[in-house]
Amino acid sequence: MDSTIFKNIRGSNTRLILFGLLALIAGIAALVLTTVPYFVAKFTGPVPISMKELVSTEVNFIQPLYFREVTGEEMFDSGYYYETYDSDTGAVTNTDYFGLLYLGSDRFLLVRTEDRVDEGQTTYVGSLTTISDEIQRDMIDDLRRELGADADTIQFLPVMLDTRDSEIFWYVGAAIVAVQILFGVRGVVLFLQRTNDPYKHPALKKLGRYGDVRMVVDSIEQDLALQDEVIGKNLHLTRNWVVFISGGNIQATRYSDLVWLYKHT
């Protein structure tokens, strides 16, 4: 099976398995790193976390700590908010607010909320995540400049509690991950089937309109071996066939059919 057609089929199968494995690995990684931890945390309920744990907690952008409950002593409205604009109309589409939850011992935790900061509320549930460079630059650093010398006496924790409701996003994300994994599995299964039986490749199955696929392929291959005039990179003119071969796409037409078509037009 070292022929022109089967080389093309093997190349197509190689691309298929690479795509399938990539989709499968990426889907499983997303499932393990984000989707599963989120829903496990959601259905097991919020986990209280102390200031001591907060100080020593390390999180990253890919793996926040979901559904953590933090209770402080006082809540302060930072006066900062983040607006999202419609790129076409310039209208404000969303506004997030930022509060500073005082935990004691001159330590503050940044809290991001969908609603205006309620300074009477001291318990919040959300995801502990990293503080983006933008928020660090435009808010934390700005606050430190305003505080001046007093900034050295307080500590802003390097994590943020994001209390925004993103449940719909996670359900949509879980559906996308599931579809991605299914595509990956399908790619692997098709690769195994087509490797075991190359004639199951759709490009070869289409040749079945000329008769038995194996006989048709043998006829084309014999012609390619005996007389093959190549036009461009992909078009082959043989004694009995006009063949187009490119990237897993194989199309063939007999000269007799072309003559018949010419006579009837």
* Shared domain check, 254 and 146: no
Q: Are 174 and 35 in contact (CB under 8 A)?
A: yes
* Distance in angstroms (rounded) separating the CA atoms of residues 180 and 191: 17
* Distance in angstroms (rounded) separating the CA atoms of residues 104 and 20: 52
Name 201's Cβ contacts closer than 8 Å, sequence gap at least 6.
9, 12, 13, 194, 248
Of 75-79, 167-171, 237-241, 248-252, the range with the highest mean pLDDT is 75-79
pLDDT of 260 over the 70 cut? no
* Shared domain check, 230 and 140: no
* Shared domain check, 80 and 155: yes
* Shared domain check, 119 and 245: no
Three-state SS at 205? helix
Please identify, among 162, 181, 197, the residue that sits at the C-terminal boundary of a domain.
Answer: 197
* Shared domain check, 138 and 122: yes
Please identify, among 146, 171, 197, the residue that sits at the C-terminal boundary of a domain.
Answer: 197
**Confidence at residue 184, expressed as pLDDT on a 0 to 100 scale:** 96
What residue numbers bound the domain in which 127 lies?
1-197
Of 6-20, 41-55, 128-142, 176-190, the range with the highest mean pLDDT is 176-190
Q: Give the total number of structural domains in the chain.
A: 2
pLDDT of 177 over the 70 cut? yes
pLDDT of 84 over the 90 cut? no
pLDDT of 183 over the 90 cut? yes
Phi-psi region of 8 (alpha: psi -120 to 50; beta: other; left: phi over 0): alpha
**Confidence at residue 259, expressed as pLDDT on a 0 to 100 scale:** 58
* Shared domain check, 182 and 55: yes
Q: Is the pTM of this model over 0.75?
A: no
Tally of CA atoms within 13 A in the half-sphere of 23 that contains its CB: 19
* Shared domain check, 110 and 29: yes
* Shared domain check, 212 and 93: no
pLDDT of 1 over the 60 cut? no
Distances from the Cα of 206 to the Cα of 164, 201, 217, 228, angstroms: 53, 9, 11, 22
Tokens, residue 126: 């959300």
* Shared domain check, 115 and 101: yes
* Shared domain check, 126 and 82: yes
* Shared domain check, 190 and 95: yes
Q: Are 194 and 201 in contact (CB under 8 A)?
A: yes
